[in-house]
Structure 1
Amino acid sequence: MLRTPAGERRLDILEWLKDPAAHFPPQRHGDLVEDGVTAGAVARKLGVRRSVAETHLGLLADIGLLRTRRIGRRTHYRRDEMRIAEVARMFEKGW
């Protein structure tokens, strides 16, 4: 999933979410670090429609690399560092 052309975008998203304050402007609702980043902010950064960003974010959340939090009507996404470390260990072992 991460080795396709679309996977490059997903890797970019994961990289940006390591330090969201450095890659995204402040949000009106929710803290970038504590709560995560909205799909709209990711879409603007990628230069795509929000629905495209939501697809990428949804896939990353479905496999557990991102956690979600609802604030108002928006879903915020942030990295799940424990799950990312777990997946990295699986790849190191030759999975």
Structure 2
Amino acid sequence: MDILKITKAIGNETRLNILEWLKSPESNFGEQEIGDFQKDGVCVTLIQEKTELGQSTISHYLSILLGANLLKAKRIGQWTFYKRNEETIRAYLESLKQKIR
């Protein structure tokens, strides 16, 4: 785990919001036609609609979060679904707690 890479990834309000929204997808996103929120994650289209940002910006932000291992991605047909990588998030928080004590 790269603590600095993760810290940089969440150093953007929209990327941090995405992680927060993905924690409770049922309450933060409308219904999605395919895929299960808990099993598959949230379709990139719903994330883009919620942020009201362009497709290229959202793709870049999701790529940064994936690169920091904060998200997991799953392809279903032509769509990509994202959900939080809870294991990495827990490890990051624990590591951060140890470093700043």
Superposition TM-score, scaled by structure 2 size: 0.85
Query: How much has 1:50 moved relative to structure 2?
Result: 1.8
Query: How much has 1:69 moved relative to structure 2?
Result: 0.5
Equivalent positions of 1:1-95 (< 5 A) are 1=8, 2-3=10-11, 7-94=12-99
Query: How much has 1:58 moved relative to structure 2?
Result: 1.2
Greater helix share, structure number? 2
Superposition TM-score, scaled by structure 1 size: 0.90
Q: CA RMSD in A?
A: 1.2
Give % identity: 34
Question: Would you identify which runs of 4 or more consecutive aligned residues in structure 1 move more than 3 Å?
Answer: none
Match of 2:5 in 1: none
Q: Is the 8 A contact 1:40 1:53 kept in 2?
A: no
Q: In 1, Cα distance between the equivalents of 2:44 and 2:60?
A: 9
Structure with the larger RCO, 1 or 2 (CA within 8 Å, 6+ apart): 2
1:7-36: per-residue Cα shift (whole Å, max 9, x none)? Answer: 111110000000001011111110122111
| Counterpart AA for 1:41 | L
